[in-house]
Structure 1
Amino acid sequence: MTNDEMNQILELNGEERYDYFLSLVGEEREIWILVNSENRFLKIESDDGALAHLPVWPSSAFAVEYAKGASDLSPKSISLPDFFKKWVPGLTKDGLEVGVFPGRGDTLWITEPEELKRDLQDEMSSF
């Protein structure tokens, strides 16, 4: 992917990035997160602490782009079966939402783990 292509995708609004995410993850069958040197995943909380989410990306390249300037974050792949079986129940239990494909703007599609799982399953059924 060229820098121009990446920039065009990162400039999409939250809903368009969500659709792109579903399409690419449906094909590749993996989700990307960022982890620190202790293998702890990046979790982002709102200023008032009322909302916390796990940011996810459709590819390693987008996760790396997001982490630029943060020296201790690196991309980690999660297979869709693992995400469905382990992560969705764990995130739900911990009360964490999922921030799907953060881009350059302030808009971010935040959803419940179960809803993302259903949307991904719907997307995969079209293949």
Structure 2
Amino acid sequence: MSSEPLETILELDGEERFDYFLDNVLEEREIWILVNQDNHFLKIVSEDDGIAYLPVWPSAAFAAKYAEGADGLTPRNLSLPEFFKKWVPGLQKDGLEVGVFPGTDDTLWITPAADLKNDLQDELANI
């Protein structure tokens, strides 16, 4: 993937990035997160409303681009079954939402983990 399409996609608004995320995750069957050297995942708390969320990306390239300039964060993939069976219940238990595909603007699709799971499963059923 060249940097030009990467930049172009990152400049899409939150809803367009959400749609791009769904399409690519369904194609690749994996979600990408960022972890630190202790294998702890990146969690962000919104300054505006205090919502805590797990940012997720459709590929390692987008996660790595987001992590540029942050020490020790590396992309890690989660298979869809792993995300559905392990991560969704864990995020719900911890009261964390999911921030789908942060980009270069201030818009971000933040959704409950169960809703993202349902959206992905609905799309999978249509394939």
Please indicate the TM-score interval, normalised by the length of the shorter structure.
over 0.9
- Offset of residue 48 of structure 1: 6.6
Residue 81 of structure 2 corresponds to residue 81 of structure 1: yes
Tell me if the contact between 1:27 and 1:124 (Cα under 8 Å) persists in the aligned partners. Answer: no
- Cα distance in 1 for partners of 2:104, 2:75 equals 18
Q: TM-score, normalised by structure 1?
A: 0.97
- Cα distance in 1 for partners of 2:58, 2:72 equals 20
The percentage of aligned residue pairs carrying the same residue is 65
- Cα distance in 2 for partners of 1:28, 1:7 equals 20
Matches within 5 A, 1:1-127: 1-47=1-47, 50-127=50-127
What do you get for the CA RMSD once the two structures are aligned? 1.1
1:77-123 per-residue CA deviation (whole Å, 9 max, x = no partner) reads 00000000000000001100000000000000000000000100111
Structure 2 gaps of 5+ residues are: none
1:47-66 per-residue CA deviation (whole Å, 9 max, x = no partner) reads 37731000000000000000
Aligned residues: 127
1:18-68 per-residue CA deviation (whole Å, 9 max, x = no partner) reads 000000001110000000000000000123773100000000000000000
- Which amino acid in 2 is paired with 1:93? K
Structure 1 gaps of 5+ residues are: none
Runs of 4 or more consecutive aligned structure 1 residues displaced over 6 Å after TM superposition: none
Pair 1:3–1:99, CA change in 2 (3 A): same
Pair 1:58–1:86, CA change in 2 (3 A): same
- Cα distance in 1 for partners of 2:61, 2:48 equals 31
